[in-house]
Structure formats: structure tokens, C-alpha cells
Amino acid sequence: MSILPILEVPHPILRKKAKRVRSNTKKELTLAYDMVDTMREAGGVGLAANQVGELWRIIVLQMPDEEESRIYFNPAIIKTSGSREVEEGCLSLPGYRGIINRSVWIKFQGLDHTNHVVKFEAENLLSQALEHEVDHLNGILYSDHLTEHRNLYTVTQEDEGLAEQDVKSAEIPTSLKID
Ligand SMILES: [Zn+2]
């Protein structure tokens, strides 16, 4: 088990599409468990393999109300419905949060750490986190979903958990600007 360095914008690997995992052998599982350790250490809700420099379709999640972390190989969003505004942050984009639209409901499929295909429906934070992490595997960052510049703002370290309070208008790095 080890803590891996988390890549930050504008690292090019964050813009690459990850490859499907053929089987989750010991090598893939070791990476997934290292990702779990890294995510927990960073206090994140999710982490995708691109963020630790590995272009494999692997994501891990830690829901605040769940004891065990979730590990999925070849995760896919197979159906979505609705649209809602959510506030989002990313470990690869520290110091920022943004307001974007995510689905209200999704249907998800992936391979779990025991090599079983899992299929379930999700809402709320779980669906938001799954959409965020699957986006990463396709080289997409949440800032790509911003509809207006003012919807991205800076947060101080102390605000990171309480992002709704006292937000300042952000100076947006060039790499984040919306076309
Ligand atoms: Zn992220």
C-alpha cells in the first residue's frame, strides 16, 4: 500500500483517455488499493487512475456514509436522466470549486474488486461522483462543464469543506477558460 502523487492541471495525462482493463489481476488491484489510500489521505470522495498518472479505466470512491471504499474497473454510465446544479471540486484542481450541471439519476455498470459485474442505479453524491470520475477516464475535468466563468471560484484551505460560504471571484488560469 502506498500513497501516490496526485497530478494537477495542466498535466497532459489528465487530458488523455484511459484504456480498458483486460482483467483485474494483482497488478490492477494493487494500483486500485494504492488509489484508495491516496484518496483517503487527500480526503477526497473519489479518484481516477489518470490522476495518479496511470491510463487505465479504474476509479475508486469513498462515500462519507460508507465504511468501505468502492473500486470499479471499466466503469460506465449506461443511462442518465435529468439535470441538476451541483457544487464540485477536484483533487487535481486544488483551491477551486465550481457550479456545474450533473444528472439527477444514472445507471452504472462496472467490474468490482472481486471481478464481478455490478450494475446499479444512483442519485445524489454517488451519481455525481461516478460521473466526475468516469469523466476523468475520458480526459474531461469538471471545469469543462462550466457554463460561465463566474461559476468557478477560489476557496481557501479552511473553506474547502464549506465551499458555500464567502466565495471570492476567481482568477481563472488560462487552461481552465471556457471556449
Ligand atoms: Zn476530479
Q: Tell me the CA–centroid distance for residue 72 and ligand 1, in Å.
A: 16
Residue 47 Cα, ligand 1 centroid: separation in angstroms?
6
Contact (CB, 8 A) for 160 and 89:
yes
Q: How far is the CA of 136 from the centre of ligand 1 (A)?
A: 7
| CATH number of the domain enclosing 162 | 3.90.45.10
Q: How confident is the model at residue 150 (pLDDT cuts 50, 70, 90)?
A: confident
pLDDT of residue 98: 95
Which one from 8, 41, 133, 171 is the annotated catalytic residue? 133
Residue at 94 is within a domain: yes
Does a structural domain hold residue 80? yes
Q: Please indicate, yes or no, if residue 116 is contained in any of the structural domains.
A: yes
Between residues 91 and 147, the one the model is more confident about? 91
Q: Give yes or no for residue 163 having a pLDDT over 90.
A: no
The pLDDT assigned to 159 comes to 54
Give 13-29 pLDDT, tens digit per residue.
999 999 999 877 899 99
Residue 175: predicted pLDDT: 44
The backbone region for 174, taken as left when phi is positive above 0, alpha when psi lies in -120 to 50, beta otherwise, is alpha
Count of structural domains, the chain: 1
Say how many Å lie between the CA of residue 115 and the centre of ligand 1.
Answer: 25
β-pair partners for 79: 107
* Per-residue pLDDT, 174: 41
Residue 6 lies in a domain: no
Give yes or no: 133 in active site: yes
Rounded Cα gap, residues 54 and 103, in angstroms: 27
Tell me if 28 is assigned to some domain: yes
Q: pLDDT band for position 147 (50/70/90)?
A: confident
- pLDDT tens track for 58-97: 999 999 999 999 999 999 999 999 999 999 999 999 999 9
Q: What is the pLDDT of residue 136?
A: 98
Measure Cα distances from 169 to 17, 99, 150, 153, 154 in Å: 31, 13, 7, 5, 7
| Residue range(s) defining the domain that contains residue 25 | 12-176
Residue 3 lies in a domain: no
Fill in the DSSP letter of residue 79: E
157, exposed or middle or buried, with CB in 10 Å at 0-12, 13-18, 19+? exposed
CA distance 124 to 12: 30
Give the Cα-Cα-Cα angle 73, 75, 76 (nearest 5 degrees): 160
The CA 118 to ligand 1 mean position distance, Å, reads 22
Neighbours of ion ligand 1 (CB under 5 A): 90
Indicate whether 104 belongs to any domain. Answer: yes
pLDDT value of residue 167: 35
Residue 5 falls within a domain, yes or no? no
Q: Quote the ligand 1 centre to 133 CA distance (angstroms).
A: 6
Q: Provide the whole-model pTM.
A: 0.87
User: Is the confidence at residue 165, as pLDDT, over 60?
Assistant: no
